[in-house]
Amino acid sequence: MLTPGPGKKVAAYVAEDQQYHGNAAYAAILDFLFFHGVSGATVTRGIAGFGADHHLHTTRLVDLAVRLPVKVEFIETAAKAEELLPKLHEMVGTGLIEMQDTTIVKPAEKKQSRANREGPPLKREGKAKMMRIYIGENDKWNGKPLHEGIVNGLRAHDIAGVTVYRGILGYGANRRIHKDAKLSLSHDRPILLSVIDTEEKLQKFMPILDEMVQQGLVVLSDADVIKYTHNYQQSERRQEAQQ
């Protein structure tokens, strides 16, 4: 993390269409900086320029537009900048690297999320149930896609969470094969909803699910839950109010 004081401003200049291991050089440099803990970096695209080849590149020349200059700039400590330079030399290739002294007056600060403000994370472990609901993509409920109706119903009943998956191949009780549209003309692809919560809450939702799912499959299985939550203090208060 940057602190106020002396620092180095480093800028790497490459061509927009310059490649590094099959990727755009500027994107590869940005990834390198990100995964090596650089505090921040900015990519800017020029509208005109020329380099060592002394060829003019400008947006007014459509055929040369992809050769416009791109600058990747970041500020770091002197030690960190020196550590990164050898790899930057390799990645920039025929481009240019500039480094100059600078003074960090105020370093950027991470935005504090609401979860972090509410308290430290709490790891919870416990037993729960996983409900899997198998339906078809064309299944409807009150004129809307059935899977959307189920998700809305689960949310309205404070179920902890649900994920909807679209299958690419499958068959059900009618023994008909349902494929992804890319493989056939069928659009009735299989849909899987995966739901996690306590057995008590899922059992309370079952009568509603029975009305919504006219043709499909619902299964329950045991699950071991490891949950990381940041607003556990607020959730505890809600539980106490409900009791």
Q: What is the pLDDT of residues 224-234, one digit of tens each?
A: 877 666 554 55
H helices then E strands: how many in the chain?
Answer: 6, 16
Q: What are phi and psi of 69, to 5 degrees?
A: -75, 145
Over residues 52-61, the pLDDT tens digits come to: 555 555 555 4
| Residue 228 falls inside a structural domain | yes
> Which one is predicted more confidently, 67 or 140?
140
Is residue 133 domain-shared with residue 176, that is, in the same domain?
yes
Distance, CA of 119 to CA of 135 (rounded, Å): 40
What residues contact residue 117 under an 8 Å CB cut-off, 6+ apart?
none
Q: For tokens 């607020």, what's the residue?
A: 234
Give the domain-ending residue among 104, 129, 158: 104
Q: Are 132 and 219 in contact (CB under 8 A)?
A: yes
> Into how many domains does the chain fold?
2
Residue 29 phi/psi, 5° resolution?
A: -65, -45
Q: What is the pLDDT of residue 193?
A: 92
- Contact criterion met (CB below 8 Å) for 180 and 231: no
The whole-chain average pLDDT of the chain stands at 79
pLDDT at 230: 54
Is the separation of the CB atoms in 64 and 85 below 8 Å?
no
Output the pLDDT for position 71.
93
- Percent pLDDT > 90 in the chain is 38
Q: Is the pLDDT of residue 202 over 90?
A: yes
Q: Clarify whether residues 139 and 230 are in a common domain.
A: yes
For the cut 90, the answer to whether the pLDDT of residue 158 exceeds it is no
Q: Where are the alpha helices (DSSP H) in the chain?
A: 25-35, 78-92, 114-118, 146-156, 199-212, 232-242
Statement to judge: residues 119 and 237 lie in one domain: yes
Q: Is 111 helix (H, G, I), strand (E, B) or coil?
A: coil
Domain that holds residue 138: 115-242
Question: Which residues, 6 or more positions from 13, have their beta carbon under 8 angstroms from its beta carbon?
Answer: 51, 69, 70, 71, 92, 95, 96, 97, 98
Domain harbouring 222, CATH code: 3.30.70.120
The whole-number pLDDT of residue 216 equals 85
> Does residue 109 lie within any of the structural domains?
no
pLDDT, residue 170, reads 58
Weakest-pLDDT range from 66-70, 138-142, 148-152, 221-225 = 66-70
pLDDT tens track for 73-109: 999 999 999 999 999 999 999 899 999 999 988 887 7
Can you give the pTM of this predicted structure?
A: 0.49
| Number of Cβ atoms within 10 Å of the Cβ of 23 | 11
Flag the least confident range among 69-73, 80-84, 158-162, 179-183: 179-183
Amino acid letter, residue 238: R
* pLDDT confidence of residue 228: 61
Q: Given a cut of 70, is residue 67 above it in pLDDT?
A: no
Domain match, 19 and 70 both: yes
Quote the tokens at residue 132: 């899997």
Q: Are residues 63 and 123 in the same domain?
A: no
| Calpha distance 149→155 (Å, rounded) | 10
